[in-house]
Every structure is written in C-alpha cells, then in structure tokens.
Structure 1
Amino acid sequence: MYTIKAVAEATGIPPATLRAWERRYAVVRPPRSPTGYRLYDESLIQDLRVMRELVAVGHPASEAARIVAGRRQDVAAASPSPPISELIAAARSADPAVISAAVAAGLAAPLPVAVSGWLVPALTAVGEGWVDGTVGIATEHLISHAIHRALATRLHRYTATARAAPVLVGLPSGSHHELGALAFAALAARDALPVRYLGADLPAAAWVQCARQTRAAAAVIAVPTHVDVATTRRTTKALASVPAIRVFAGGAYQDDICETATPLGHDIVTAVSVLRARLESRP
C-alpha cells in the first residue's frame, strides 16, 4: 500500500489533484489507515495513471472518470482470468490444441479486460521466464505463435471495410516483437478505428509508400525495445514527408522518440482512447 505522497511521485499527479479527483469525481476511493492517511494499492494507482493520460489528451476530468469507472466495472464483471502458469504448462506440452485452448481461455473476457488482466501479465511472465531460464525458447515461440493467431483472428473479426483515411499500425525495420502492436490494432479496430495492421519489420520506405498510397490519417509505430529506437526515429522522420499524416508511438521505449512522434502512453487499452482523442482534435 502506498501513501498519497508516494502515489504523487509515482504518477506525477500532484497531491492536491489526487484529492480533488477523489472528492469531485470519485475516480478512486482509497481506504484510510487507522490514523486517517489514504492508502493506495496497485490497481488504484493504475486507475489514476489512466485518468492522467485521458485528461492529458483533452478529455474533461468528469468524462475521464466515467471511462475509468467503466473499465473497473468491466474487470469486475469478467470471469477471473486463468493463472499464467496454466499457459506455460500448456506450452511445455508442445501440443498446439492444448496451447490454443489455454490462450482462448486467457482471452475469453471482453478484449480490453483480457488484454489488461491476462495478456500483458502473461507476456511479462513469459519474458521474465525466458531471461531467467525457466521458459525455454521453444516454449516462448509456441506461446507467441498461439497468441498471435488468436489476436489476428480478433483483428480480422473487428476490421470493417471503411472509406475513412486509415490508421497504420506496425513496427519499424528489424523489430519483431509485435504482440503488443497487434493487441493494440485489435483493440483499435474493436473501437471502430479504421486500422490497417502492417506487421513487424517494416522498412521506413515501405511505411512512407503505404501512407501515401492509402492517404493515411495516422501511423502508430511500436517501439518495444531499446534497439528499435534508432530505426523508429528514421521511420518517423521519413513519414514527415507525407502530407497531413500524424505520427504516434507506443511500446516500452516510446518516450525516447517523443521529438518525432506523439507517445500514446504505456497502457495499451487506454492508448486507444488517447489515439481517438488526438485524431478528433486539431493537429
């Protein structure tokens, strides 16, 4: 549990604002210690980060609070996600049917809930297991391929033919860690944004060519590792030659290219709302 001072330092939200949001909008209701101090857990801190990002892109605080409350209700209404250990055990069986069933169970909730509550923690756990040697390369590949298939199916289901200028989503040249970008694309398509998913390892020239051909309204480039920063910078600079396009970045290292692309924030679900708000506002 964290005090209001610690939360302010972790989120960049001043204590006075935290108190005002609680008093005016009930965005969070932290319990009190026996001596009357507010105490925040990780879930409340995440709600506050989402609120901060929504307000930062222009949502009125009252509207942002309603979005946060809706997310919280979706999580509460969803069935509990299966343990991540079940996914890893399934992958170790090397049986595609067993692995697909484990992924389907993890993604059974509404997609925003499944991404925040199961997919992101699962990918984190698998990555950490790969680093410490408890998850082998073959196991990691089996999990990744099964998740990729499931997300691609969702993306195809949500994507509709639209005449609107598209939003291009993908990764720069040399970048292959695409599950976060694919999840974002599926979430954005579910939210009726005209997404065209370009996939991994796309050279800057191909980004520019596609943007010109489709007259894209926006490009969202994932920056999942520090190795991707330099190639993403080259891509965003090349896209500056495309008329009227707006360039955004997601992923762990998005803040490293904020001079050439607008960061969407580190919560994949909230990033969709941030993108929509940016696109609906003037450049």
Structure 2
Amino acid sequence: MEPEPPQTRLQPPPVALGTGAVARRLGVSPTTLRSWERRYAIGPDRREAGRHRRWTPEDIARLELMCRLTAQGAPPSEAARVARGVAPEDPPAADPAAPTPGGPRALRLGDVRPECRGLARAAVRLDAPAVEDLLEAVLAELGPVTAWEEVIAPTLHAVGRKWATAGERYVEVEHLLSWYVSAALHRIRPAPEPLPAPPVLLACTPGEQHSLPMEALAAALGERALPVRMFGAALPADALCEAVRRTGPRAVVLWAQSRTTADASLARSVAGIEWGPRGARGHSALLLAGPGWGAAAAAPPARAERLFGLRSGLAVIESVVAPRVPGTARGTAAGRAAPAACGS
C-alpha cells in the first residue's frame, strides 16, 4: 500500500475583534472609528453576517499607526492616507522608546492591560468623549475595584510622572482625566438595600485635595451595600470631629496623599472621640490610607491601622463592619472580635 500523504495542519485564523474592543484598545470611541471608516476609508477588511465589523490584526495595525500620527499632530486625513499605505502583512514596527503609540507624548505604562493603554492614549489626545466612553466600559465590565487598580490608577500615575518630568506640560491631561474619572465613579449607583449598620466615614485630611482614591473606595463600598458617608477633599478638623460624633461611624478612613497633609495630631483626636449615650459609649475604628501616612510621618495613634491598596483596604473595612451586622453569616463571636484587633 502506498503511504498516505501527510496531512496539512491548518493554522487557526487570526483573532478578529469587534469595534468596541478595538476602541478600548486604542483609546478612541466607537463613534470615532465609524467616523474614520466613513470619512477616510480606513475600516476593516471584512464583515460578518449582519454587517458586524470585525477588525483583524492588520486592520488594528493601520489604526494604531493613524492614532500615532494624529497624536503627533498630523491631520486625520493625512494620517489615514499614510496608514492605508502600510502593507497588511508588514505592520509598522513599534518604537522601542515609546511603548504606546503617540511618539514623544506617549505615557510610560509598562506591562498593563490594553484598556489602560487605550485610556492613556485618549487622555493624552484630550479626547474627552473617548475618555468618558472608556471609563464607562471598564467600570461596567471590571467593576470599580479591578478598574481602579488595573486601569485607572496606573494611567493616573503615568500622567503624574509625565508632567513631573516635563515642567508644567501635561497638567491639562491630568486635570481632564481626573475630572472624568471622578464623574464616572459618581455615576456608580450603590446597592439598593444597604446593610443595617453604622456608616463608614471617608474624608481627606485638612489641606488634602487628592480625593479620587476616596471616591473609588466610596463606589466600591456602595457596590457592596455598605453604608458610606463621603466628605471629600480637605475637610476641616473641627468638621471632621463633629461628623464623627453625629454619625457614630463604625470606621473612619482618613486619606493623606503627602506627608505635609498627614496630621498625626488630628488622627489622635479622631481616635479618642467617643459617641453615643452615656453608659453605651462607642468609638470608631481609625483607618489611615494614602502614602502620606508612611514611616516618615509623625507617629499615628496606637489604635489605628494602615490601609494599603483598594482591594485589601476593602477587606479590612468589611472585617470591621460586616461581623456586627445582625443576621449576616459573619456575625459570629470570632467575627465580633475583629474590630478590636483592627484597632490595636
């Protein structure tokens, strides 16, 4: 018998992405992609049944080149003409000095999610509609915790590093991005039925204007049905102490971005506040968040705990609040001892 001819192994076809996924990857809105396709004939090479656009790696390479050229100041029509001249089998090589498209304006991001690169590109272009669309998409898809830790915070840090090394340039990028991040976090609706527990009070120390981390924490706590009282940036010391007495919070989280705003004397005052009727006085767990409370800061009170990161901070707060909520699975004797340990 003659040997059978060797069978040819079929290579899997390249993955094609939908318009929404490509828009998030590039940092543009889906409307922008459709506009580029209509105006400059830089659309995908194929469509699926039902006229759905499917973008191949070659299509995306052309779009990346167009984004890079427009970020460098080229008119969209000229950028599209150049991008269409790139052979599909020979996409433009990445510039080793610029990990993301955008040339010298690119943000140094390192190894991050594609959504983070897309958000950075949109912010550098000051493309507010794209920034807004991208933030809405990642918060809906990933939730506030993962979106903050893996997309939003890395982009904010990259913008901060960029303007810190470029004089006063790129401050407008940070302001635009911060504004739309804040607006997107405020649009997250808390769970409709919060747990029947005293609230968690969130505030920035007097003089501290950086409130975005607290806004992310407020959104995440609301999503978990934990009652929150958010007081935002630069709450005066007297107002903070009065808010603690009036609300009787289970925990107080104080944010300080820098050592100059990390007021240890204020922390000691808050830790010493007692609230409630005579004979049934209580006090709040004091949780210190932000890099300002580092080792170089003045010694905080003994009954205080540092929070590191949004996800781990949420776990600490839940250990303080949830075990005391009547009817919850964690309302055990062992669980009720957690707040004392937290405040030690």
Q: Structure 1 length as normaliser, TM-score?
A: 0.63
Identify if the C-alpha distance between structure 1 residues 144 and 272 changes in structure 2 by more than 3 Å, giving closer, same or farther.
same
Aligned counterparts of 1:105 and 1:269: Cα–Cα separation in 2: 20
Identify if the C-alpha distance between structure 1 residues 157 and 276 changes in structure 2 by more than 3 Å, giving closer, same or farther.
closer
Aligned counterparts of 1:161 and 1:192: Cα–Cα separation in 2: 4
1:133 aligns with 2:166: yes
Q: More relative contact order in 1 or in 2 (CA 8 Å, sep 6+)?
A: 1
Q: State the partner residue of 1:91.
A: 123
1:216 aligns with 2:258: no
Correspondence 1:115-154 to 2 at 5 A: 115-133=148-166, 136-154=170-188
Aligned counterparts of 2:123 and 2:236: Cα–Cα separation in 1: 32
Q: Secondary structure at the match of 2:262?
A: helix
Aligned counterparts of 1:268 and 1:194: Cα–Cα separation in 2: 17
Aligned counterparts of 2:308 and 2:195: Cα–Cα separation in 1: 28
CA apart distance, 1:262 = 2.4
Q: Secondary structure at the match of 1:263?
A: strand
Query: Per-residue displacement from partner, 1:221-248 (whole Å, max 9, x unpaired)?
Result: 1122122113xx2332232233322211
Number of residue pairs matched by the alignment: 201
Contact 1:248-1:261 at 8 Å conserved across structures: no
CA apart distance, 1:93 = 3.6
Q: State the partner residue of 1:60.
A: none
Aligned counterparts of 1:269 and 1:207: Cα–Cα separation in 2: 25
CA apart distance, 1:89 = 2.9
Range moving further from structure 2, 185-194 or 217-226:
185-194
CA apart distance, 1:275 = 1.8
Aligned counterparts of 2:132 and 2:303: Cα–Cα separation in 1: 36
Aligned counterparts of 1:149 and 1:211: Cα–Cα separation in 2: 27
Query: Per-residue displacement from partner, 1:85-114 (whole Å, max 9, x unpaired)?
Result: 432332344343222123224433122221
Q: State the partner residue of 1:190.
A: 223
Identify if the C-alpha distance between structure 1 residues 120 and 81 changes in structure 2 by more than 3 Å, giving closer, same or farther.
same
Query: Per-residue displacement from partner, 1:150-209 (whole Å, max 9, x unpaired)?
Result: 11112x434755652111011011101111111112112222221111101101111111
Identify if the C-alpha distance between structure 1 residues 159 and 122 changes in structure 2 by more than 3 Å, giving closer, same or farther.
farther
Contact 1:164-1:194 at 8 Å conserved across structures: yes
- The one-letter code matched in structure 2 to 1:87 is L
Aligned counterparts of 2:170 and 2:266: Cα–Cα separation in 1: 33
Q: State the partner residue of 2:319.
A: 277
Contact 2:205-2:233 at 8 Å conserved across structures: yes
Contact 1:187-1:269 at 8 Å conserved across structures: no
Give the number of the structure whose alpha-carbon radius of gyration is greater. 2
Identify if the C-alpha distance between structure 1 residues 235 and 162 changes in structure 2 by more than 3 Å, giving closer, same or farther.
farther
Correspondence 1:160-239 to 2 at 5 A: 160=193, 163-230=196-263, 233-239=264-270
Q: Secondary structure at the match of 2:307?
A: coil
Aligned counterparts of 1:159 and 1:89: Cα–Cα separation in 2: 35
Aligned counterparts of 1:278 and 1:97: Cα–Cα separation in 2: 40
Aligned counterparts of 1:220 and 1:268: Cα–Cα separation in 2: 12
Aligned counterparts of 1:264 and 1:163: Cα–Cα separation in 2: 26
Contact 1:204-1:235 at 8 Å conserved across structures: yes
Correspondence 1:58-137 to 2 at 5 A: 81-107=113-139, 108-133=141-166, 136-137=170-171
Aligned counterparts of 1:205 and 1:261: Cα–Cα separation in 2: 20
Query: Structure 2 regions of 5+ residues with no counterpart?
Result: 1-111, 276-282, 324-337
Aligned counterparts of 2:159 and 2:200: Cα–Cα separation in 1: 30
Identify if the C-alpha distance between structure 1 residues 159 and 177 changes in structure 2 by more than 3 Å, giving closer, same or farther.
farther
Query: Per-residue displacement from partner, 1:44-70 (whole Å, max 9, x unpaired)?
Result: xxxxxxxxxxxxxxxxxxxxxxxxxxx
Identify if the C-alpha distance between structure 1 residues 276 and 163 changes in structure 2 by more than 3 Å, giving closer, same or farther.
closer
Contact 2:201-2:229 at 8 Å conserved across structures: yes
Q: Secondary structure at the match of 1:170?
A: strand
Q: State the partner residue of 1:268.
A: 310
CA apart distance, 1:138 = 1.1
Identify if the C-alpha distance between structure 1 residues 278 and 226 changes in structure 2 by more than 3 Å, giving closer, same or farther.
same
Aligned counterparts of 2:225 and 2:268: Cα–Cα separation in 1: 28
Q: Secondary structure at the match of 2:198?
A: coil
